[in-house]
Structures are given as structure tokens and as C-alpha cells.
Structure 1
Amino acid sequence: MTDEFDSVSLAALNVADAEALDALPFGVIGFAGDGRVTRYNAYESKCAGLRAANVLGRHLFDEVRHV
């Protein structure tokens, strides 16, 4: 997978494993249909200041808090 934001397809992101997502130089957050976070990479974690363990499986807008 290329690491340039505008050349990465959603299909590639959907099938990428956690290691590939963590290698990207931009943040990735994936959501399920119910709004719960299913994908969250290291770049996003660093920029947001939120550990993946506190974000994955939670509804980003209702449950996730920066503490």
C-alpha cells in the first residue's frame, strides 16, 4: 500500500492489517454502521492523544473522552 493520503483507496484501508495502518503517515479511524470505532491507527492515536484501547469498540462521538 502506498503511503500518500490521496492515493490510498478505501478498499485498501479496509483490508489492511493493523501493522500496515500503523505505518501510514496520516490518521485512520474506521467506523462500524453503529458508529463504533473498528480501526484506529498509531498516527491518529499520537495526534489525538488517545490510546487505541480507549477508543476501539466505542462510539467515537458519544463515549470517547480525552482524559
Structure 2
Amino acid sequence: MQGSGREARIHYMAGTFRLLSDGDHVRCAATGVPIPLDQLRYWSVARQEPYVDAAASLIAEERARKA
């Protein structure tokens, strides 16, 4: 993977994602925790946000419902 130490820009799609700019991680939208791209499993297509785990995804979903 290129972009060591840099945050990647990603377009999230159903079941996959596309790298828009090189990097080796993204930041969880709910917690701010860095997520290595090879460990990225959770994201929202509608909000274009990555999540570190299912719990963080649920937190983001609940926030979105309140907004």
C-alpha cells in the first residue's frame, strides 16, 4: 500500500470502496480512531463515512437519526 502514514480519501460504495487519493488509513467518523485500509470493514454509503467497528457504525446511525 502506498501513502504510508497519510490519510486516504475514499469513495464508499455498496460492498466495496474506491481509493481517490493514496494513503494507508482513514479516520472513524464516530470515534476519530485511525483505521488501516486493510482492516476497513464498516462504512456508510449514504454519509460517505468509515467506522472502526459495528458499535461505531451504530453510534453514527443514531446521531444521523437525531439530526
TM-score by length of 2: 0.32
> More helix by proportion, 1 or 2?
1
TM-score w.r.t. the length of structure 1 is 0.32
